[in-house]
Structure 1
Amino acid sequence: MTEQHGAAPRRENDQVRPKQPLLVLIGPTAVGKTALSLTLAKQWNAEIISGDSMQVYRGMDIGTAKLPLADREGIPHHLIDICDPEEPYSAADFQAGAREAINAISARGKLPFIVGGTGLYIESLCYDYQFADNGSDELFRAEQEAFATAHGAEALHAKLSEVDPEAARRLHPNDLRRVIRALEVFHLTGQTFSDQQAGQKKESPFELCIIGLSMDRAVLYRRIEQRIDEMLEQGLEDEVKRLLARELSPHAVPMQALGYKEIADYLNGNCSYEAAVERLKRDTRRFAKRQLSWFRHMKDIHWFDAGENFHNNLRSIHAIIAGKFQDHLEYHSNQSFLDGGNVQ
């Protein structure tokens, strides 16, 4: 058979490789992701990959709302307890670890399922961000750390607001490592971190199905405050004491995390217990607002209200997943809801 002029010969094995299915559940802290993730994982024969930047650290359990092993209902969870508090862990590290987990889960015939609230981590994975090697300036970093120590994290965050307001809006002032890195990128390249992120491609290497949970702001804030009260009852103060005993740098990531920095300030005599708790609740409310703002800028999300009548949305969520992964229904372990049965 004669080939057409100008056309590349087609080999029999030339086929478009299908994208790996990837289920993703996002939303602000305390919105109810954990409970729903267990329901969906059981329904869809999935293994969960944590998309939380702090749950990677061993010994940080209460303050990160880490689901105890006994409560995971036999569902494998990945990227939890993989680092000591002294070790750095970045979005690029998460991206590489999550890809490895996705490949392994897919090879087992299971559905990879990302669950979490760290916007940069999840977005960088879903859309295959390329992390530029902009180099580093250790002296500059040390100067910014010294500035934060002398003037406070809010003052350093204000410096970022001047040069990169978009990054400042997305980053919590207590997230010193990322605030300093955003300042360092601008210092080294003259380009803002936000501009670099905006230049990323927005096509996913995965067959994505992203479910987003939101909630009335007042209700969410009450849930946040209730969760913090429960963390304190469960022993958050003792958990922070154990971290302090490790003599971590005050600029180490764990000591800047929500719940740890505030209680550490109290334990170090910098404020009263009541002031620390009030600041923790305030900063967590602000963090939830930033999470929602980040996710609202992402595409391809199916949003659901996780309020009182959320059970009415479960059938719709299952139907969306089924429609997205209709060519991969082997993942589904119980199809009763599609056949008119009860929704789990």
Structure 2
Amino acid sequence: MAIMKSLLSACKEVAVPSMSFPGGINMETFLPRSRKDKVVIVMGATGTGKSRLAIDLATKFSAEIVNSDKIQVYKGLDIATNKVTQDECRGITHHLIGFADPNVDFSADDFRHSASQVVDSIVAKDRLPIIAGGSNSYIKALVHDNIEFQSRYSCCFLWVDVSLPVLQSFVSKRVDQMVQAGLVDEARRFYNPILANSTIGLRRAIGVPELNHYFQNENAKNLEEAIEEIKVNTCKLATRQLQNIMRLENQLEWDMHHLDATEAFLKQGFEAHEAWERLVARPSSLIVRDFLYDEKEESAPNFPNIMTTNSVITPPSMNTMVNAVAAVAR
């Protein structure tokens, strides 16, 4: 931990004294630019494991997580919005999750303002901000449409990807798990017939409008149709998010590190855990390590808690496995 704090401190900007000479020449023009502070951004479609990866990284580095999911920012509907649980957080501090008024829109501009302040506060503590979420409009507003952010921060983009057919099958099963966890009762408590057609704030969340139709005429057939509609709309969301990520990568020329987690989603138990570590968690840790410690200038330190390619994977505990199964859906 002491090594990591030293590492993050080394990444902070260094103040350059102002130097001027007769004739109006400002020597700051000729001095090398100071280093920018570092931010890690975890992107991916819904259900690909963004939160799991962010938490994995935060346990290896001195980091805090900033949520960038435009639905998870709102208070309420924890099942429908698939928020991480306290156990899944593993003691890692999370920001901008479950705090906004569910009856008021929290726009991309609102996120840019709030996230900028949170990132500043995390960096001020010599900790690493990890921004994770599926709302690409939020990320674009913060990183691309924010000149001040660009001038202060250097970003490392991690893109967690899963083959679309595999992901669509997975999120459909996840909807069934959410129903078993109490999705319908949760939505019923949130239901307001006067606002049944509203698309403001949290009422835009997938699961709310679909179940509103069911609550207006409750019977088994309507419930079955509502659940199927939730699955279809979730798959459509995943497709749109994937397309948006590809568009951002191409149009904005963001240097994204692509991490294919498909194999981890096709396996079960320890084999799934091993595949996730090998294909996603371990490569990401090495990418972030190199990002934080610019190897072009000096060699990177050896972090004992970051596994190398030849490391032996220790079988996880039962609690770890239970949390991993739930977290992979984030």
1:250 paired residue number:
197
Q: Which runs of 5+ in 2 are unaligned?
A: 1-19, 249-253, 264-274, 315-330
CA shift for structure 1 position 310: 3.5
Return the alpha-carbon distance in structure 2 between the equivalents of residues 278 and 87 of structure 1. 28
Contact 1:24–1:115 under 8 Å retained in 2: yes
Q: Which amino acid letter does the alignment assign opposite residue 218 of structure 1?
A: P
2:212 paired residue number:
264
Q: Does 1:278 align with 2:228?
A: yes
Return the alpha-carbon distance in structure 2 between the equivalents of residues 106 and 224 of structure 1. 35
1:181 paired residue number:
none
1:193 paired residue number:
none
User: Is the alpha carbon distance of 1:210 and 1:10 closer, same or farther for their aligned partners in structure 2, counting shifts above 3 Å?
Assistant: same
Q: Which amino acid letter does the alignment assign opposite residue 301 of structure 1?
A: M
Q: How many equivalent residue pairs?
A: 272
2:261 paired residue number:
306
2:242 paired residue number:
292
Contact 1:26–1:117 under 8 Å retained in 2: yes
2:267 paired residue number:
none
Contact 1:42–1:333 under 8 Å retained in 2: no
1:337 paired residue number:
307
Return the alpha-carbon distance in structure 2 between the equivalents of residues 335 and 121 of structure 1. 32
User: Is the alpha carbon distance of 1:77 and 1:336 closer, same or farther for their aligned partners in structure 2, counting shifts above 3 Å?
Assistant: closer
SS at match of 2:158: strand
Q: Does 1:316 align with 2:264?
A: no
Q: Which amino acid letter does the alignment assign opposite residue 257 of structure 2?
A: H
1:263-293, CA deviations, whole angstroms, 9 ceiling, x for partnerless residues?
Answer: 1121122981111111111111011000000
Contact 2:60–2:306 under 8 Å retained in 1: no
Give the TM-score of the pair, scaled to structure 1: 0.70
CA shift for structure 1 position 52: 0.4
CA shift for structure 1 position 216: 1.4
Return the alpha-carbon distance in structure 1 between the equivalents of residues 193 and 76 of structure 2. 11
Contact 2:290–2:300 under 8 Å retained in 1: no
Indicate the larger mover: 212-221 or 332-341.
332-341
Question: Could you tell me which of 69, 84, 98 is aligned with 1:67?
Answer: 84
1:155 paired residue number:
none
Q: How does 1:217-228 map to 2 (within 5 A)?
A: 217-228=164-175
| RMSD of aligned residue pairs (Cα, Å) | 3.2
Return the alpha-carbon distance in structure 1 between the equivalents of residues 117 and 313 of structure 2. 32
Indicate the larger mover: 248-257 or 38-47.
248-257
Return the alpha-carbon distance in structure 2 between the equivalents of residues 27 and 119 of structure 1. 9
Q: Does 1:84 align with 2:84?
A: no
SS at match of 1:277: helix
1:5-37, CA deviations, whole angstroms, 9 ceiling, x for partnerless residues?
Answer: 86623269x773432211011101111112222
CA shift for structure 1 position 343: 7.2
SS at match of 2:25: coil
CA shift for structure 1 position 71: 2.5
Give the TM-score of the pair, scaled to structure 2: 0.73
SS at match of 2:165: helix
1:187-219, CA deviations, whole angstroms, 9 ceiling, x for partnerless residues?
Answer: xxxxxxxxxxxxxx9967421101001111121
User: Is the alpha carbon distance of 1:21 and 1:256 closer, same or farther for their aligned partners in structure 2, counting shifts above 3 Å?
Assistant: same
Q: Does 1:100 align with 2:117?
A: yes
1:32-62, CA deviations, whole angstroms, 9 ceiling, x for partnerless residues?
Answer: 1122221111111110000100111111200
Contact 2:196–2:209 under 8 Å retained in 1: no
Q: Which runs of 5+ in 1 are unaligned?
A: 131-200
Return the alpha-carbon distance in structure 2 between the equivalents of residues 103 and 326 of structure 1. 20
1:131-160, CA deviations, whole angstroms, 9 ceiling, x for partnerless residues?
Answer: xxxxxxxxxxxxxxxxxxxxxxxxxxxxxx
Q: Which amino acid letter does the alignment assign opposite residue 214 of structure 1?
A: D
Question: Could you tell me which of 293, 305, 314 is aligned with 1:326?
Answer: 293
Contact 2:293–2:300 under 8 Å retained in 1: no
Return the alpha-carbon distance in structure 2 between the equivalents of residues 83 and 223 of structure 1. 29
